[in-house]
Amino acid sequence: MVWVPLRTTRTDRPAPLRAPTACRTTMSLEWLMDWSWSLDGLRDFIATGIQSFRDCDATALAAVACLLVLFVWYCYHVGREQPRAYATVNALMQSAEANGVQNGYVYCHSPECVRCTHHDGLNQKLYHNLQEYAKRYSWSGMGRIHKGIREQGRYLNSRPSIQKPEVFFLPDLPTMPYFSRDAQKHDVELLERNFQTILCEFETLYKAFSNCSLPQGWKMNSTPSGEWFTFYLVNQGMCVPRNCRRCPRTYRLLGSLRTCIGNNVFGNACISVLSPGTVIAEHYGPTNIRIRCHLGLKTPSNCELVVGGEPQCWAEGRCLLFDDSFLHTAFHEGPPEEGPRVVFMVDLWHPNVAAAERQALDFIFAPGR
């Protein structure tokens, strides 16, 4: 016989005085039970994940791991790289106001400017810029530029006197004083179709000359005789906002040109005016990577352009293409009653400079670099 004590209930037992403690104990027990269930679920989830991982193909897992590593590296690289603002014509419209625009002409204030300053460290600076470009992008297609920078001093000093670019010579480009219209056919035809548009905006500008000697926005250039005026929309890769606003249709036309140089110091676009009796002294351009395009707006008689000893005449509504790294000059010997010679000048890429080279040259010779 087993004796089992009986639990008696005492009706006279006082109720607990600390009811909140009892509540907390009950809630804690419930939470612990829920937590144990959560741990069981978590354990099952981990076990399922491990089994799935084991079941996956090793090649697929390796590919996913490589993609993940590449993504992390890309995020790190982009995050640590300092962003660089490229000098596009449209972007410079907003910023050039603060970069030294005086009388419509952009003056360079930097002693390190590769376009305006000649110094012993120029080649080192260009090579440093090339290395920086190749590090960010690629050495692919940089053979001629690398060769040109490495032997720049020899090229500039040994060139025949007929062609001596002042700043940069790119080797192995076809050499000729003048180019046919087919060299940049699209841009030539586009400019000629808009001849009347450009002419009308010039005539509106030129009316201001009756009120003062040098209206705002025009620049007077040094000449042995006569007067040579220029009205820049883009000067050495820098847009002149005030002038562009006064020639809005001509400025918009620049954006439609496929080969216009607008992103480096060798790019210019302007209206050039020679008064009767003017002679421009013989000089060389800064580089052979461009061809200069003159669209004739007003072409009186006895006006000539001489490039590499070869004379050519302008024609109204027609483009004349030439390499200004050749020794060249221009003159207007027509009668005063025929008025000035006027051309719209824009710099285009040499047709034999490849797209990858253009991108690299824009980086190396960016304005203010």
| pLDDT tens digits, 25-69 | 555 555 455 555 566 666 776 777 666 656 666 676 777 788 788
* Tokens (6 digits) for 284: 């060389």
pTM, full prediction: 0.70
Give the residue from 55, 287, 46, 285 showing the smallest Cα distance to 149.
287
Secondary structure of 70-89 in HEC code, one letter for each residue: HHHHHHHHHHHCCCCCCCCH
What number of CA atoms fall less than 13 Å from residue 119's CA on the CB side? 12
What residues does 298 pair with on adjacent strands? 342
Comparing 31-40, 101-110, 335-344, 347-356, which segment has the lowest mean pLDDT?
101-110
Kindly indicate the confidence band of residue 244, based on its pLDDT and cuts at 50, 70 and 90.
very high
DSSP 260: B
CB 302 within 8 A of CB 281: no
Interatomic CA distance for residues 324 and 304, integer angstroms: 15
Q: What is the pLDDT of residue 14?
A: 44
Q: Which 3 state secondary structure label does DSSP give 272?
A: strand
Q: Sketch out the chain's domains with CATH numbers.
A: 178-354 (2.60.120.330)
pLDDT at 1 over 60: no
Longest dimension (CA), the chain: 146
CB 345 within 8 A of CB 271: yes
pLDDT at 24 over 90: no
Neighbours of 253 (CB within 10 A): 22
What are the phi and psi torsion angles at 177 (to 5°)?
Answer: -65, -40
- Dihedral-angle region of residue 226 (phi above 0 means left; psi in -120 to 50 means alpha; beta otherwise): left
